[in-house]
Structure 1
Amino acid sequence: MRRAARGLPGVRHPGHTLPAGDLGALSLPVGDDGVVVGEDADCRALVLGLHRSTRYDVLLIGGLWTAQVLALRAAGTGARVAVETGRAQAWTALARAAGAGVDCMTLHAVGRVPPLGAAVSGPVVVVRDCGTRPPRGRVVSSPWQSVVTLLPYLSPVAPRLLRDSALVGVQQVSPEEAGPIGRILGLSRAEVETLPTLSEGVTLWCSGRERHWVRTVATEPETALLGPARRMD
């Protein structure tokens, strides 16, 4: 029986030492670690902590490009990424590039994601790219297993997902979609009016009362693999 992967092994190196007199020169960053989703208007990096000891559900109403950037960056943090999708052809090249010979990103048909054995030593991110009406999946969020659901636009299941998700990202939508989204998320009138005007790669991330306008800026390798930022596929 093939054993489930437990994440990528880290770099092995001998220990480092530092003279006691140099300790004062050290500084440690304080804040969340995780996946860099982009930068705000002040060019500060915004980080999404996907690896948690509690359940964590993320909803992205937006484009495939942004979902794939998030999946690729999650794999880069050492997580195993399982993509549940009805369009495997759109993910095949990404899965091959992400793994570099290691199965850190796997593709599964809708409703066919197996148990993944998430653990603190091997976190998992499930990306659900299942169209406008994603069915309730067998694999749900759990400790060390986050679920990111992609909706291309507002659909009949969107209100439930908007209410149930701990984090919601909204990209450019029509004025008719912006209204219901704004009411459910408690957005201001200005925020609702801005949603239909968003540029490619810009997302409004919402968690409770917290709001962040974020532009996802691809690296050169990401652009070579996925192309330029785009809302529509």
Structure 2
Amino acid sequence: MSRSRTIDVPGNQGAAPEFLVPPETLDAVSPSGDRGGMIIGSGPQNEPLAASVLRPEPTRMATVGGLYLARQIALRAMATGAWVIVATGRPGAWKMLERAAGQTPDGKPVPLCQIRKLTPFELPRSTEDTPLLLIHDGGAVPQELFPPRAPWQTTMYVLPYLHPQVSSGTTANTADMVLLQRLPLNQAQLAGRIWSLHPQQVHQLTQLNDTEMIALGNMMWTRVRLVTRDKEQEILGPVRRGD
């Protein structure tokens, strides 16, 4: 019997599908024991924790604290067969994903992973067979260029830190799930105001170590330890906060 636990965000109506993927890509990730859940770390008893990142409805999520976590989610989404498109002003920071995805016979990057500029562009159609993870790496106060509008599309905002202007936009305060690494006190207090956290939760955000995060959603507050396998570490480096 699987000992993994799935962290579902509100409105989850089903599991993401299974896919056939290249063995070298699959070998780089820690697969979930529950169909449809993407492993995001482990719990207090070292049990795998999975989250429904790719879902049948448009989904918005955010990561706060650095690139490592966002890259890890992107790599694991690729291993499920999802499209992963990164809109960024720093393409060099994401090139390892293209290398991990491999090349076509003519030496070009496979379309499974695309690194694009921070300008509007047409997105591929997302379906149950080909879900889409759109990663918006546009700084602490990103513009709303790619709101999730289609089923099986998840837009993930990569926030290096919490900026006060985030509280007045839709990037974080309307997200279905937010993954928070350790925050300094002023940002933890801002998080408390944005998401109506209890004082002990605000304090906990300041006490996480570099390999921990909080998975936050509606009626969800879960402390998660980030884990990586050797193959994944060869691509991403050691588990860490920041970048």
| Contact 2:164–2:190 (Cα < 8 Å) also in 1 | no
Q: CA deviation at 1:138?
A: 4.1
Tell me the equivalent position of 2:212: 202
Answer yes or no: is the 8 Å Cα contact 1:57–1:165 preserved in 2: yes
**CA offset at residue 179 of structure 1?**
0.7
Does residue 133 (structure 1) correspond to residue 141 (structure 2)? The answer is yes
Give the deviation of 1:93 after TM superposition: 2.1
Greater mean alpha carbon deviation, residues 187-196 or residues 60-69? 187-196
- In 2, Cα distance between equivalents of 1:157 and 1:230: 26
Shift of residue 112, structure 1, vs aligned partner: 3.8
Equivalent residues of 1:141, 1:147 under 8 A apart: no
Larger radius of gyration: 1
Tell me, which stretches of 5 or more residues in structure 1 are unaligned? 1-6, 12-28
8 Å Cα contact 1:115-1:139 kept in structure 2: no
Q: After superposition, where does 1:33-72 map in structure 2 within 5 Å?
A: 33-72=36-75
Q: Is contact 1:168–1:206 with CA below 8 Å preserved after alignment?
A: yes
Q: Deviations over 1:41-92 (max 9, x none)?
A: 1112111212222111001112100100000000001101001111000111
Q: 1:214 to 1:84 in 2, by over 3 A?
A: same
Offset, 1:129: 0.9
Structure 2 CA distance for aligned equivalents of residues 31 and 54 of structure 1: 19
Aligned to 1:223, the other structure's residue is in SS state helix
Instruction: Tell me the matched-pair count.
Output: 210
SS at match of 1:163: coil
TM-score normalised over the length of structure 1: 0.83
Q: Which of residues 112, 116, 119 in structure 2 aligns to 1:108?
A: 116
2:80 to 55, 77, 81: 77
- Pick from 93, 106, 131: which aligns with 1:90? 93
The code of the aligned residue for 1:91 comes to W
**Does residue 186 of structure 2 align to residue 183 of structure 1?**
no
TM-score by length of 2: 0.79
Contact 1:113 1:139 in 2 (8 A): no
Q: Secondary structure at the residue paired with 2:57?
A: coil
Q: Larger deviation: 67-76 or 199-208?
A: 199-208
Contact 2:63–2:178 (CA under 8 A) maintained in structure 1: yes
Cα deviation for residue 142 of structure 1 reads 2.1
Q: Which 5+ residue runs of structure 2 have no aligned equivalent?
A: 1-16, 22-31, 105-109
Q: 1:16 maps to what in 2? A: none
Question: One-letter code of the match for 2:195?
Answer: L
